[in-house]
Amino acid sequence: MSNLIVHGGTPLRGRVVPSANKNAVLPILCATLLTDQPLRLNGVPDITDVRKILDIFRALGSQVKLDETTRVLDLHHRDTRFDAAVHRLPEEMRSSIMLVPPLLARFGVARLEDNVKGCTLGVREIDPHVDIFRSFGGQVERADGSLLVRSSGPLRPTHHWLDYASVTTT
């Protein structure tokens, strides 16, 4: 950790504006699928995973308008549709797993590549997510290189103990 040492009798004044980060914005973006009402997000960071999530939204029929200068994002998921026969969440983006719960809640189904990779930290297993989906009452099938998760109704509350720490699983 770096140190900032200030010498002298001049008090510091100013303003610090924290930048947005992907660990906050990606779950927020995924949760927007839970409503069909228009939404506005301010300060959306310009990062690859955000662009990929927005591309997924567009492919599903959502209205996506991002002002590249102000980083203000307007979303409307009114016309969003998910067809498990057509749509698959991409394997190259670990955070696509966070789209599964809102897709289950809204459409009762989600399909993603079974070999979702990790990130620069390395490959991370998807099995803890599969365990969680099942624990909450989801039906999970593995076939043809994909993972199909279904729910015949609202997911049920549960108690579940993870074998190891996993940020996106919790």
Is 119 part of the annotated catalytic residue set? yes
**Burial of residue 122 (number of CB atoms within 10 Å: 0-12, 13-18, 19+):** exposed
pLDDT of residue 23: 79
28 & 63 share domain: yes
Within-domain flag for 117: yes
Whose CA is closest to 62, among 44, 82, 76? 76
165 & 134 share domain: yes
pLDDT of residue 123: 47
- Structural domain of residue 34, as residue ranges? 19-81
Out of 119, 123, 140, 162, pick the active-site residue.
119
| pLDDT tens readout for residues 120-143 | 445 457 788 888 999 999 999 988
169 & 107 share domain: yes
117 & 63 share domain: no
- Which residue carries 């809102």 as its tokens? 102
Helix (H, G, I), strand (E, B) or coil at 134: helix
pLDDT of residue 146: 85
C-alpha distance across the termini of the chain, in Å: 28
Please say which residue of 81, 108, 134 terminates a domain.
Answer: 81
95 & 46 share domain: no
24 & 86 share domain: no
pLDDT of residue 99: 92
105 & 147 share domain: yes
CA distance to 6, 21, 62, 71, 78, per residue, from 18 (Å): 21, 9, 29, 14, 32
Number of structural domains found in the chain: 2
Within-domain flag for 14: no
pLDDT of residue 147: 87
Q: 30 φ, ψ to 5°?
A: -60, -40
